[in-house]
Structure 1
Amino acid sequence: MERIRHFFFDHFMSLGVSEVTAKYLNMICLFIIIAIVLFIADRLTRRIIINFSNRFSENTKTNFDDLLVKHRAPRRIAHLVPLVLSIKLFPIVFHDFPQFETYIVMIIKVYGIVLTIWIIRSVLKTFESYFKTIPQLKDKPIDSYIQVAMLFLWIIGIASILAIIIDLSFLKFFTTLGAASAILLLIFKDTILGFVASIQVAINDSVRIGDWITMEKYGADGAVIEINLSTVQVQNFDMTITNIPTYALISDAYKNWRGMQSSGGRRIKRSIILKAKSISYLTEADITKLKGIQLISDYLESRQNDISNFNSENDIDKSILINGRNLTNVGVFRKYMQTYIENHSAVNKDMTIMVRQLESTPHGLPLEIYCFSSDKRWENYEYIMADLFDHALDAVSYFNLEVFEYPTNFEGLN
């Protein structure tokens, strides 16, 4: 290259131009030649590396190299060849103009730092995509870790660029930057909190991608679709997207439905309120009539015999119904609903099934149905629950019970 430089310089001098003009013309010619060489080297190197990487990825079983190609890592690595050539050749071009050489070298170094960042970014993105294909890591906040690595990478890269521009050593620059650490902590407060939160979430396994979470403070009720450094994205059931700060997962309360989804059923816990005045003892005639209900006919027969034997053995005066032991319509109805639910095909028989009384209220006696549907899908779960209560509300009348509701002429509404 030195010979070419001298050749052009001597040629321009032989044309009778001044030495300064010859140096400028020499610089321009060398710049054009090197630009062409760098362009050809870039295109040729890129084609060779890309073709090689494509063939290599096609012949391997792993998809890691395919992801490298997808995220353009080989293409960006190919730019290193013209970069190295630029570092070697441009000082020769501007040999006679050191003031230009300083700026050109600075620009090349800045470009080298940016190119290095983009290459590392492509590799990190490849790892991110690859980790997401591993079943054990699909529900982990991989995005957060990659973003943290990219954040530190850009901080180091920008600091290196600034150190080059102001002509200060990298170590001295960071020493000076330490004085402004308080300001940096303030600027990157959310990022730092998000980083710490994402680590705690991953270690404690409190939230995974795909989990159904409910967070009333942020209006979130749906599946987690992404966990990154700054936000957790939740796709609500109305298909809207709610963004929650990542650090809110360790500072605020939320409900994770993963336990329900991984269990054998989804809980049904709802009450109907019975009028207190409709609750009564059952007479012999009432019991005989209720024996026509197949689900409880055996139960009534057994209970009636037990109660009759007890009352007889203890010489109970049954001329007054309250004396001795008796069946009540609400008790028999509770047993009926218990048996009905236990025989329902959509209820999980291996989990708790219970029909119980709650504490009385001014409106009446709450009778709660507590069980678990086998189908945990929301729509089917609602159908199962509605089916149970449709039956319960209609069955009430067969036991001479009434469900509480405000009368249409309720004075308080006037």
Structure 2
Amino acid sequence: MEVSSSFRETFVHLVNDIFPELTTGEPLFNVLATSAILLVSVVIYVIARLLIRPQIARIVYKSNNVWDNALQEYGFFRRLMHLFPALFIYITTPILIDEGAVLRGFLIKSAQLYMLYSGLLALYAMLSTVEYVYNSSSLAKRAPITGFIQVTKLAFAIVTILLSISLIVDRSPLLIVSGLTAIAAVLLLIFRDTILGFVAGIQIAANRMFNTGDWISMQKYEVDGEIKEIGLTNVKVQNWDKTISTLPTYSLTTEAVKNWRGMQESGGRRIKRAIYLDIHSIKLCDNDMLERFSKIRYINDYIEKKKNELQAYHRDSSIDESDLLNSRRLTNVGTFRAYLEAYLRKHPHINQELTLMVRQLPPNELGLPLEIYCFSARQDWVDYEKVQADIFDHVIAMLDPFDLRAYQRDSHLSSLHLAREVEKTSG
């Protein structure tokens, strides 16, 4: 109290030295006091910005902590400097200006609003720092917090706006909140996407449905790429063609989304592709064919095992092997299927711990589909496509040694036409 009185008396003496007959109750005194307060507050801000802030930055960059560097980068200390002039205005205004003056109330409320919004911006910088530090940690792979940070910022912004209104109209914030219930429906429409995004963010985080870095596909939005950011209202996805797609956050929980995270965590990427065989090329194996197949290293043991199995069957059933109607014989397509499975079992880039099979699908007008179902150990797109292409290069090249043909509509028709011409010529 004594400090305030002496400060006021000193200022009054300084004013009276310039304006001897000026009293504290006159408007000119209040204008001079206001000008002095604002001028000194500007000087305080300049000093804080030019002297104090560089010292803080020097201390921050010398440390090895991540969080204080992030605070500096997001402007926390810079925004905090605004509190010094605001506090000076708030403290000195009641001292220098009389209570009944209009400028007194204006300056005090302005200082309060200044401190309120400076604190809000500093709090925003702190929340951004928390988000940055969290995203830099391993916990970010489990659950993103960008949506929650944005909700927190929005909540603080709403509270700040309510407090600002209460300061301006000089009413309790509770009265203002109670008055907002009348326009709740309008607010729901305005913040519809925000509310839906917040609820979706809780579901995504609680169930670990998606995270930044996940590869997702959404046919409805033609999205196929990696999630870069999960925000309160929007999700940013960078497609493989390097375009950026922006989706509503709630669409991740309401639309059909394929998340490839399971594939990435499983250690394999699925290869599921069929080659159509010309049914006319499928036949029973004779001794010459079996002799030729037995020289293929992947299936020589398979051929010997099948030969012994068939011989035992014919002997036990008293069937002559030359009896084509009753004897059992291998087929070239079945032997080829066994060869492909053995080939995949030895392939260095196929994950042997996951499902691996070569199967026949139902025949159709295009022939007999022979499908390879396995998982590439290489998950990167380029390497995966190379592995898949190498496998089917080999599959197509090995059709001829097994006396098989791939179905191809034009070549198939031309071969039939050629066969008919040969029959006519020989006839």
Mark yes or no: TM-score above 0.5.
yes
1:7 is matched with 13
Alignment of 1:9-408 (within 5 A): 10-11=16-17, 14=20, 23-47=26-50, 49-58=52-61, 60-95=63-98, 98-138=101-141, 140-407=143-410
Residues 396-405 or 374-383, more deviating: 396-405
What is the rounded CA distance, in whole Å, between the counterparts of 2:74 and 2:114 in structure 1? 20
Deviation track 1:71-129 (CA, whole Å, cap 9, x = no partner) reads: 22222223222212101223455438723333333322222221121121121112111
Residues 128-137 or 288-297, more deviating: 288-297
Residues 312-321 or 64-73, more deviating: 312-321
After superposition, the Cα gap between the structure-2 partners of 1:89 and 1:275, relative to the gap in structure 1 and judged at 3 Å, is same
The 8 Å contact of residues 294 and 300 in structure 2, kept in 1 or not, is answered as yes
The 8 Å contact of residues 238 and 244 in structure 2, kept in 1 or not, is answered as yes
What displacement does 1:408 show? Answer: 6.1
SS at match of 1:348: coil
What is the rounded CA distance, in whole Å, between the counterparts of 2:122 and 2:224 in structure 1? 39
Residues 253-262 or 146-155, more deviating: 253-262
Letter in 2 for 1:193: L
What is the rounded CA distance, in whole Å, between the counterparts of 1:237 and 1:191 in structure 2? 28
Deviation track 1:217-244 (CA, whole Å, cap 9, x = no partner) reads: 1111111111110111111111111112
What displacement does 1:156 show? Answer: 0.8
SS at match of 2:399: helix
Give the TM-score normalised by the residue count of structure 2: 0.88
What displacement does 1:58 show? Answer: 4.6
What is the rounded CA distance, in whole Å, between the counterparts of 1:224 and 1:110 in structure 2? 39
The 8 Å contact of residues 30 and 103 in structure 2, kept in 1 or not, is answered as no
Residues 161-170 or 379-388, more deviating: 161-170
After superposition, the Cα gap between the structure-2 partners of 1:200 and 1:120, relative to the gap in structure 1 and judged at 3 Å, is same
Q: Percent identity?
A: 35
What is the rounded CA distance, in whole Å, between the counterparts of 2:99 and 2:246 in structure 1? 58
The 8 Å contact of residues 12 and 25 in structure 1, kept in 2 or not, is answered as no
Residues 175-184 or 399-408, more deviating: 399-408
Residues 149-158 or 80-89, more deviating: 80-89
Residues 358-367 or 198-207, more deviating: 358-367
The 8 Å contact of residues 275 and 364 in structure 1, kept in 2 or not, is answered as yes
The 8 Å contact of residues 215 and 227 in structure 2, kept in 1 or not, is answered as yes
- Unaligned 5+ residue runs, structure 1? none
Structure 1 vs Structure 2 CA RMSD:
2.5
The 8 Å contact of residues 38 and 85 in structure 1, kept in 2 or not, is answered as yes
What displacement does 1:250 show? Answer: 1.2
What is the rounded CA distance, in whole Å, between the counterparts of 2:327 and 2:18 in structure 1? 129
Give the TM-score normalised by the residue count of structure 1: 0.90
What displacement does 1:146 show? Answer: 1.0
What is the rounded CA distance, in whole Å, between the counterparts of 1:136 and 1:5 in structure 2? 58
What displacement does 1:363 show? Answer: 2.0
Letter in 2 for 1:322: L
SS at match of 1:272: strand
Letter in 2 for 1:3: E
What displacement does 1:315 show? Answer: 2.4
The 8 Å contact of residues 8 and 26 in structure 1, kept in 2 or not, is answered as no
What displacement does 1:56 show? Answer: 4.1
SS at match of 2:398: helix
The 8 Å contact of residues 282 and 326 in structure 1, kept in 2 or not, is answered as yes
Deviation track 1:227-273 (CA, whole Å, cap 9, x = no partner) reads: 11011111111111111211111111111111111122111111111
After superposition, the Cα gap between the structure-2 partners of 1:366 and 1:114, relative to the gap in structure 1 and judged at 3 Å, is same
What displacement does 1:348 show? Answer: 1.8
Letter in 1 for 2:294: K
Letter in 2 for 1:107: S
